A and B are shown apart, each in its own frame.
Chain A
Amino acid sequence: MLVHLPILQVIVPLIGAPVCVLLSRASLVWLFALVVSGLSFIISVLLLQQVLMSGTIIYELGGWDAPWGIEYRIDKLSGFLLLIISAISTLVLFAAQTSINKEIPAEKHTHFYILYLLSLTGMLGVVVTGDAFNVFVFLEISSLSSYALIALGRDRRALWAAYQYLILGTIGATFILIGIGLMYQMTGTLNMADLAARLPEVAQTKTVLTAFVFVITGVCLKLALFPLHLWLPNAYTYAPSIVTAFFAATATKVAFYLLIRFTYSVFGVSFSFTALPLQFLFMTLGLLGIFVASIAAIYQTNVKQIFAYSSIAQIGYMVIGFSINSVTGLTAALLHIFNHALMKGALFLALGAVVYRIGSVQISQFQGMGQQMPFTMAAILVAGLSLIGMPLTVGFVSKWYLLSALIEKGWWPVALLILIGSLLTLVYVWRIVEVAYFKPPLSTHSTVNEAPLAFLIPIWLLVIANIYFGIDTRLSIEVAHSASESLLQAQRLVVP
């Protein structure tokens, strides 16, 4: 059984999705989806443990040898990502039933859980697989179900957001497909480890360079890296709250994983960072993303939109960590993936609780919420502080690592700009805090009280994780550090 964990990680939610149809009652479907997601969480914990103890796991599908058959390959980086995705998915799903009762018509509840599990399957599959074409297939499984999930939003603008996301997402995925095709043309293989071994021979050709450009552009579209972020704000704002919480914490992380996987493992550091001025490009785009998105966030009146723009800014931090191309820099980026998932999971779930109680996330409706929903607002406050990077929260840890990586390289101006960017975060978080705590409650909200426990439990688990991993950083840093160390040391995956 333990040997088959890598495939079970994907198969369990994949089989779970259609089984939902057979269950008649919506609450039963919810329980089932929760169990399925919980099972994937347990599997990912076991996998990460195994990877940390005995190194990379290689699983050959159907017993076919690697370059011919599809291989699943789990190293520290994938193990880390699997844990984040399945943990967030399970926590978010805990609040799902309560939330979608208010936001989605009853006859669509079963469909919601099916799509949710399919989306989870896709994300886990992208991370688990060691085959380039498999990445495309899983990416599309996750994307197609996410377009449908976003379209479930109550506002009609959700439909438009989903359509826009579909067009851009498909262009991104097709770019990745073209890139993979060009790589196959040059090397005759689709296995990532095999590609890494064969690409250096043909690295000087224009075809490989073209393949690289296509793959990177496609991934950046999915990642919503500035200026390819246009699909993200509306998609996150108008999707059902549960969907936003799930995607904000996981979907862009998967794309970021692909960016690291393709540049470090498949093409190799020496090729990736010399073929294109990646360092300069990503540093500039990351900084621009931080400033443009943070300033845009300040001017929004919809709190969900504020945090959607903030997500684009946070991607900027990750990309900067990536572009430094050192162990510390990569550690900072990986830490920020983990920490950002904790923050945004908590924030968007808390916003889901607000929607549940007052039906709106316009900032004007937040007046006096600090008194009426004290636990929810306190969660937004703590997660917001974490977003800014206050000491004793996780946000501080990843920013600290990012700054020390920059200072290691002597890039003071960039470090300074990042600090200024954090101040912008303070501005938009403060706007919400001010309205919620320093204004009297609206008369129309006199009956509003605290969110139900179904919300509070996952929200506060995430908030406590925000504080816990901000103080006791051993686990997250150890995994992130050793993952980035092995990525940089190996330069590319070693062929077995």
Chain B
Amino acid sequence: MLMGLFNNWVVVVLMMIGLYIVIAHGNLIKKIVGLTIFQTSVFIFYISMAKVDGGTAPILMANVTKYANPLPHVLILTAIVVGIATTALALALTVRIKEAYSSIEEESIQEQNTKQASERDELDSRSEQY
């Protein structure tokens, strides 16, 4: 039971590690790393799903009747591409955030945002008094 579902256990452990990093870490790059681990666990899930016991690679050959299922592999190629696009975009955003806030720590960014908001409010109350 435990060994038979070995791949699924790996998937779940990786998934939880990834999600934990995304939630617990304040560093934007670390969050992206966590997100990538999370996505990768899903890739492994799809790939191991395609395995058929005793099946070979899905290439038509004589004397072979049992093949692994190629469809999940094809699906996950698409998902990998999506994952790369997401990571690239996230990194690009991080570069822009670093330029705008001179920091990639969530805490410092939030702090600067609240500061910006309260300055705004002060400005508002002044114009309302007028």
A residues near B, CB below 8 A?
A: 133, 136-137, 140, 144, 147-148, 151, 156-157, 159-160, 162-163, 166-167, 170-171, 173-174, 177-178, 181, 184-185, 190, 301, 362-365, 367, 442-444
Prevailing SS type, chain B contact patch: helix
A–B Cβ pairs within 8 angstroms, 30 of them: A137-B82, A140-B86, A144-B86, A144-B89, A151-B96, A156-B100, A156-B101, A157-B113, A157-B116, A159-B93, A160-B101, A160-B113, A163-B28, A163-B94, A166-B89, A170-B35, A170-B39, A171-B38, A174-B38, A178-B45, A181-B45, A181-B72, A301-B120, A301-B121, A362-B120, A364-B124, A364-B125, A367-B128, A443-B130, A444-B127
Per-residue CB proximity of B81-112 to A under 8 Å, as 1/0?
Answer: 01001100110011011001100000001000
Count, A-B residue pairs, CB within 8 A: 87
CB distance from B33 to the nearest CB of A (A): 12
Cβ of B67 < 8 Å from any Cβ of A?
no
Q: What separation, in Å, do the CA atoms of A148 and B92 have in the docked complex?
A: 10
Residues of A within 8 A of B79 (CB): 136, 177
Does A147 lie within 8 Å of B49, measured CB to CB? Answer: no
Using CB atoms and an 8 Å cutoff, list the residues of chain B in contact with chain A.
Answer: 19, 22, 28, 31, 35, 38-39, 42, 45-46, 49, 72, 75, 78-79, 82, 85-86, 89-90, 93-94, 96-97, 100-101, 109, 113, 116, 120-121, 123-125, 127-128, 130
- Tell me, in angstroms, the Cα distance from A30 to B94 when the chains sit together: 29
A159 to B97, CA, bound (A): 6
A166 lies within 8 A of B101 (CB):
no
B128 touches A364 (CB 8 A): yes
Q: Which residues on B sit within 8 Å (CB–CB) of A444?
A: 127
Considering the complex, give the chain B residue whose CB is closest to the CB of A143: B86
Chain A residues within 8 Å of B46, by CB: 181
Q: Which residues of A contact B19 (CB under 8 A)?
A: 171
Out of A137, A181, A362, A442, name the residue touching B42 (CB < 8 Å): A181
Could you tell me if B72 and A184 are in contact, using CB atoms closer than 8 angstroms? yes
Question: Which residues of chain B are near A156, meaning CB under 8 Å?
Answer: 97, 100-101
Cα A181 to Cα B48 with chains together (Å):
11
Considering only CB atoms, which chain A residue lies closest to B39 in the complex?
A174
Q: Are A151 and B93 within 8 A (Cβ)?
A: yes
A157–B93 Cα distance when bound, in Å, is 12
Chain B residue with Cβ nearest A442? B127
* Contacting pair B22 A167 (CB below 8 A): yes
B90–A184 CB distance below 8 A: no
Q: Quick check: A140 and B93 within 8 Å, CB to CB?
A: no
Please determine whether B127 and A364 come into contact, CB atoms closer than 8 angstroms.
yes
Which residues of chain B have C-beta atoms less than 8 A from A362's C-beta? 120, 123-124
Once the chains bind, are A185 and B49 in contact (CB under 8 Å)? yes
- A301→B113 CA distance, assembly (Å): 15
Chain B residues near A367 (CB-CB < 8 A): 127-128
Q: List residues of chain B with CB within 8 A of the CB of A167.
A: 22, 31, 35, 90
Taking chain A's interface residues, is the majority helix, strand, or loop, or is none over half, making it mixed?
A: helix
Within the complex, which residue of A133, A160, A301 is in contact with B75, where a contact is CB–CB below 8 Å? A133
Q: How far is the CB of A20 from chain B (nearest CB, A)?
A: 19
Of listed A136, A184, A364, residue having the most chain B CB within 10 A: A364
Contact A166 B82 (CB under 8 A): no
Pick from A137, A177, A178 the residue with the most CB of B within 10 Å: A177
Looking at the assembled complex, report how far the CB atom of A431 sits from the nearest CB atom of chain B, in whole angstroms.
Answer: 13
Whether A184 lies near B49 (C-beta < 8 A) is yes
- Residue ID in chain A nearest B104 by CB atoms: A163
A435 — nearest CB in chain B belongs to which residue?
A: B128
Distance between Cα atoms of A160 and B46 in the complex (Å): 32
> Least Cβ distance of B48 to chain A in Å?
10
Contacts of A365 in B (CB 8 A): 127
Most buried by B among A144, A159, A171: A159
Shortest CB-to-CB span from A304 to chain B, Å, is: 13
Contact of B127 with A140 in the complex, beta carbons under 8 Å: no
Cα A151 to Cα B85 with chains together (Å): 16
Task: Chain A residues near B89: list those with CB within 8 A.
Answer: 144, 147-148, 166
A301–B124 contact, CB under 8 A? yes
In the bound assembly, the distance between CA atoms of A144 and B72 in angstroms comes to 23
Q: Are A163 and B97 in contact (CB under 8 A)?
A: yes
How close is B4's CB to chain A, nearest CB, in angstroms? 14
5 pairs of A and B residues whose beta carbons are closest in the complex = A156-B100, A364-B124, A140-B82, A163-B93, A159-B97
Contacts of B49 in A (CB 8 A): 181, 184-185
Report Cα–Cα, A137/B72, bound state, in Å: 14
Q: How far is the CA of A101 from the CA of B86 in the complex (A)?
A: 28
A480 to chain B, nearest CB (A): 33
Which chain A positions have C-beta within 8 A of B75?
133, 190
Contacts of A185 in B (CB 8 A): 49
CA distance A170 to B125 in the complex (A): 39
Contact of A177 (CB < 8 Å), options: B35, B42, B96, B113 = B42
> What are the residues of chain B within 8 A of A184 when measuring CB–CB?
49, 72
Interchain nearest-CB distance for B57 vs A (Å): 19
- Min CB distance A4 to B, Å, is 24
Closest to B15 in A: A178
What distance in Å separates the Cβ of A126 from its nearest Cβ neighbour in chain B?
Answer: 14
10 additional contacts (CB under 8 A) given A156-B97, A170-B35, A174-B39 = A137-B78, A163-B94, A166-B90, A170-B86, A171-B35, A174-B42, A181-B42, A190-B75, A362-B124, A364-B124
